Amino acid sequence: MEDAYNIAGIDVHKKMLAVVVANARDTELQFECRKFGTTISELRHLSAWLEERGVHETAMESTAQYWKPVWIALEGQCRLHLAQARSNRGPRGRKTDFRDAKRIVSRLLSGDLILSYVPEPEQRWWRTLTRSRYQLREDRVRLQNQLENLLEECQIKLSSLITDLLGKSGRRILRALAEGESDPARLADLGNWRLHASKEELRDALSGQPQPLHRQLLSLYLERLDLIESQMATLEKSIAGELHAHQEAVTRLVEIPGIGVDSAQQIIAEIGPAAAAFPSAAQLASWVGVCPGRQESAGESSSNRSAKGNRTMRRLLNQLAHAAVKKKGCRLQVIFRRWLPRMGYKKAVWAIAHRLCRLIWKVLHDGVAYVENGFEPNPKALKERRRRLVADLRKLGYQVELTPLTPGPILNPGA
């Protein structure tokens, strides 16, 4: 049929795929159903079957990680959509695999599916690298906590005196403990002279009772630490090589307060070097989930809580916002301090994360550089502050006349 526009819906599972095909131009959808496996050979049969039926679009559920092989097998053959599973829920007690697949097609045509953003293969590889590096950092933090727990069992209070337990001094002492050294004086001598703790304090903190099993565990923990750091170094080199062509975008991002090279690489891996998938800053903020949500009924909004968005970007923007508000003199710190009394700490930080998200979109999408204006007074803000102060003084019964100390356009009362 020449005017047919066939659409496929796939209900994805670990071991099987429920696939339906229907002509979107029919008045009443007629579905053709078939089951496939998830092995490479079965995915090739699926690709050939869809091609025989002239499928133009395919939608599937984002079921855990099992959608990825199906997406890769069909990528480039037809237009693909990845639907969030919660947007395809059916009535309780009437759920079957083919019924779910048919519902995907029907809701795709009606526009009721919530579709996920799936980047190009190269960007997906960047995501894999940066997220793997983040997981290794989490593993390193978890390992450090295990080390501290083990030292407490040994009655060794090293972490109470050394700020960085895994620094050079801390590692020398830990390796000596693992190798069997038990003399507190010799262990204390391994500390750097720059440590704030004295030799007497170190000897007292290291006068514990480590048992042979404790030393064995400590040795295993240190070996795992070396492996994690070696893998992190390898991933950092791979990420730098993959993003070398977008070095200019990384450079422009690190000019924004709170953002470092590592954070810039993660941002580019998540949204792309030009944020081309997001036509506006508002759409990016909505996808990330840092803008106010809206639960409206009967014309009234019952909640403005932010919707759940991209977890990686939400976590990253929250960290960047905490770093940005601590940078002295930057514009974001000025705004944060202005909002803090009215909004409270958590909401003010989240508002800074929203502003950072919009700044990131502007820098990447428009290719502009960030310009810091934190030290320069804002004429509009000064005028509004002057008006409020004068009004408050007049309410107290004072007669106020403003005389500028240094005449100029910024402090001019008539401005």
Beta strand pairing call for 55-61 and 79-83 = parallel
Quick one: angle between helices 121-153 and 261-271, nearest 10? Answer: 130
Placement of tokens 């409270």 in the chain:
344
Strand, helix or coil at 57?
A: strand
pTM summary value: 0.83
User: How many angstroms separate the CA atoms of 311 and 98, rounded?
Assistant: 31
Three-class SS state of 23: strand
User: What is the Cα 316 distance to its own chain's centre?
Assistant: 4
The three state secondary structure string of 229-249 is HHHHHHHHHHHHHHCHHHHHH
The pLDDT, as a whole number, for residue 378 is 66
The answer to whether domain 6-110 has CATH 3.30.750.24 is: no
The per-residue pLDDT for range 328-381, each reduced to its tens digit, is 888 899 899 999 999 999 999 999 999 999 999 999 999 999 988 765 566 777
pLDDT at site 212: 92
**Which of 263, 254, 250, 258 lies closest to 355, judged by CA?**
258
What pLDDT shows up at residue 409? 44
Q: What SS3 string covers 142-159?
A: HHHHHHHHHHHHCCCCHH
Instruction: Look at residue 408 in the predicted model and tell me its pLDDT.
Output: 43
Mean pLDDT of successive 10-residue stretches along the chain, which has 415 residues: 82 94 90 95 96 94 89 94 88 86 93 92 95 96 95 90 89 93 89 85 89 94 96 94 92 91 94 94 93 76 78 94 90 91 93 95 93 70 78 74 58 35
| pLDDT confidence of residue 282 | 93
**260 contacts 351 by C-beta, under 8 angstroms:** no
**For the chain, domain boundaries:** 6-110, 123-242, 246-294+305-365, 379-415
Q: How far is the C-alpha of 72 from the C-alpha of 308, rounded, in Å?
A: 26
